[in-house]
Amino acid sequence: MSERAKEILVVGLILILSIIVYLGKVGGWIGALAFSPAVSIVVIILIFLALVWMLVRTLRGQLLDRRIVFLFVALAVVLPFFMSITQEIKISPEVQQLYDALESLPPGSKVLVSFDYDPPSAPELQPMAESFLRYCLLNDLKVIIMGLWPQGPQQADLALQAALADPRVQQKNLEYGVDYVNLGFQAGNEFVIQRMGANIESMFPRDYTGSAYRDLPLVRNVKNFSNIDYAFNLSAGYPGTQEWVQVAVDRYGLWMGAGNTAVQAPMMYAYVNAGQLEGLLGGMNGAAEFELLTGLPGKGTKYMLSQSFAHMVVIAFVIIGNAAFLTSGRKKQPLGQGK
């Protein structure tokens, strides 16, 4: 059989399999998959053995094909989804700081939440958004949502739906415009923040649903940042936390914390240390820690096991690669600075 034919065969098989599973899902005769603890441990051992095999192969001088690396990463991320193992989560100081700041807010405080990310970063930030909103709504904090990214308010809407679906939140009979409001997106990056410092309504004359700003009881009296008790920024890049800190915190003295993608988080530590940010959630584990603190487990906690496995695998790859490199006597020096 030719290479081409094999490839087509594999694609075809995947297609047929997924159609069957999909029909099963729709028809209800295939349910969710879950490994028992025993099976989970067996799977973990298998993953470990595969790593050992890779180490041995690499030490013998045969670098693995990229595709094997890829396949392995895929397995290490997918399999933990089905495992039933729990792990202990530890709270970092900057997450605690955020939680303490929130706890210090009296009921009725106005919290501004800016959604500055788009769907590609949602896996990291959506869990934070959901648990943050859920916490605020449960604790009678008034939530004002906005976005500096065009897709932000759409993400906010999804997060709100998730938060409102919580039975305890439902019991509170919260009302749009009174307990929470979504002001929508405004183009202009940091200039939006700057003008909000003077007048929020000028930037958001109408909310996401098209109602006029002054018709919304929650924000009618919110003139500018001085009426905001705490701000939380969910950020995946530019414009994001850096701009909020530079403009809203440095110039207008807004009290704020942030949730960032893990990539961005390291830069923000400088701001946390300098006191410009009150609390920081960094990446998936920031979300999981916050969920633990607030006692509202959500997606962050659910994804955390896969996250742990993925980290272990990457670390294993670094070790394997370097073990081979060190034993082979550092032959291949690269061009340039050699850093």
Partner 1 sequence: MEHIAVWVAAFLTLGIVSFLYKDNPWYKLSESIFVGISAGYWFVVLFWDNVHGKFWTGVFPPEEYDAAGNVITKDPDWMLWIGALLGILMLARLVPKFGWISRWPLAFIVGSTAGLYLINYFSSNMMRQVQGTIMPLFGMWQTDPATGEVMFQAFSTYDVVGNLVILIGTFTGLVYFFFSKEHRGVFGATAKVGIFFLMITFGASFGYTVMSRMSLLIGRVDFLFGTWLGLIK
Partner 2 sequence: MRRRHSRHILLFHLFLFCLFLVTSSAIHAQSETPADTAAVDTAKVQIEPPTSVVVTDHKYDDADALELTWVPSVNDRVPGGKVVGYTVFRSINEREFEPLQELLPGSNFYLDESLYRDTLYSYYVMAYSRNDSARSVATEPVSPQREWLHVDRAWLFVIALLISISVFYFISAAKKGEDLFIRKIAGLEAVDEAIGRATEMGRPILYIPGILDMDDVQTLAAITILGHVSRTVADYDIHVRMPVSRSLVMTAARETIKASYQTAGRPDAYNDDMVQYVTDEQFGYVAAVDGIMVREKPATVFLLGAFFAESLILAETGNSINAIQIAGTARPAQLPFFIAACDFTLIGEELFAASAYLSGEPKQLGSLKGQDVGKFVAMVVIIIGVVAVTLGQAFDVAFMQEIFDALTYVFSTQ
Partner 3 sequence: MITGIVGAVFVLQYFIPHWPFSKMNAWFSDWFSIVAAFAIWLGALNLMKISAQKVVGRKEDWGYALVIIFSFLLIVIPGFAGGQGYREAGTFFSWLYEWAYTPLSSTMFAILAFFVASASYRAFRARNLEASLLLIAAFFVMLGRVPVGDILTGFMPVGWRLSDLASWVMNYPQAAGQRAIMIGIALGLVSTSLRIILGIERSHLGGE
Q: C-alpha angle with apex 111: 136 to 265, nearest 5 degrees?
A: 90
**CA 273 from centre of chain:** 22
How many Å apart are CA 78 and CA 295, to the nearest integer? Answer: 26
Q: C-alpha angle with apex 262: 229 to 51, nearest 5 degrees?
A: 150
Min CB(284)–partner 1 separation in Å: 4
When computed from its CA atoms, the radius of gyration of the chain, rounded to whole angstroms, is: 24
Q: Cis (ω within 30 of 0) for the bond into 239?
A: yes
Candidates 25, 168, 172, 251: give the one binding partner 2 (CB under 8 A). 251
Residues 28-67 interacting with partner 3 (rule: CB under 8 A) = 63-64, 66
Contact 264, 145 (CB under 8 A): no
Q: Does 186 bind partner 2 (CB under 8 A)?
A: no
Q: Does 70 bind partner 3 (CB under 8 A)?
A: yes
Place of tokens 């001088």: 61
**Judging by beta carbons within 10 Å of its beta carbon (0-12, 13-18, 19+), is residue 291 exposed, middle or buried?**
buried
Q: Give residues with Cβ within 8 angstroms of 25, minimum separation 6.
A: none
Residue 37 contact, options partner 1, partner 2, partner 3, none, Cβ 5-8 Å cut-off depending on partner type: none
Residue 195 contact, options partner 2, partner 3, partner 1, none, Cβ 5-8 Å cut-off depending on partner type: partner 3
Candidates 2, 171, 173, 333: give the one binding partner 3 (CB under 8 A). 333
How many Å apart are CA 35 and CA 316, to the nearest integer? Answer: 24
Candidates 253, 269, 314, 322: give the one binding partner 2 (CB under 8 A). 253
- Angle, helices 122-138 vs 283-294, to 10°: value is 20
Q: Does 217 bind partner 3 (CB under 8 A)?
A: no
Residue 21 contact, options partner 2, partner 3, partner 1, none, Cβ 5-8 Å cut-off depending on partner type: partner 1
Pairing of strands 142-147, 256-260: unpaired
How many Å apart are CA 117 and CA 152, to the nearest integer? Answer: 6
Q: Does 264 bind partner 2 (CB under 8 A)?
A: yes
Residues 291-330 interacting with partner 3 (rule: CB under 8 A) = 304, 307-308, 310-315, 317-318, 320-322, 325-326, 330
Q: Does 6 bind partner 1 (CB under 8 A)?
A: no
Q: Does 189 bind partner 1 (CB under 8 A)?
A: no
Q: Does 41 bind partner 1 (CB under 8 A)?
A: no
Min CB(320)–partner 3 separation in Å: 7
Min CB(199)–partner 1 separation in Å: 14
How many residues form the binding site for partner 2 (CB under 8 A)? 23
Q: Does 40 bind partner 1 (CB under 8 A)?
A: no
Site map 205..244 versus partner 2, x via CB under 8 A? ---------------xx-xx-x----------xx------
Handedness of CA 201, 276, 143, 131 (dihedral sign): positive
Residue 5 Rama label (left phi>0; alpha psi -120 to 50; beta)? alpha
Closest CA to 300 of 321, 322, 283, 319: 283
Kindly list the residues in this chain that would bind partner 1 in the complex (CB under 8 A).
7, 11, 14, 18, 21-22, 24-26, 30-34, 66-67, 70, 73, 77-78, 81-82, 120-124, 126, 150, 187, 190, 205, 212, 214-215, 242, 245-246, 250, 261-263, 265-266, 270, 273-276, 282-285, 303, 306-307, 310-311, 314, 339
Kindly list the residues in this chain that would bind partner 2 in the complex (CB under 8 A).
108, 120, 198-199, 220-221, 223-224, 226, 237-238, 250-251, 253, 263-264, 266-267, 334-337, 339
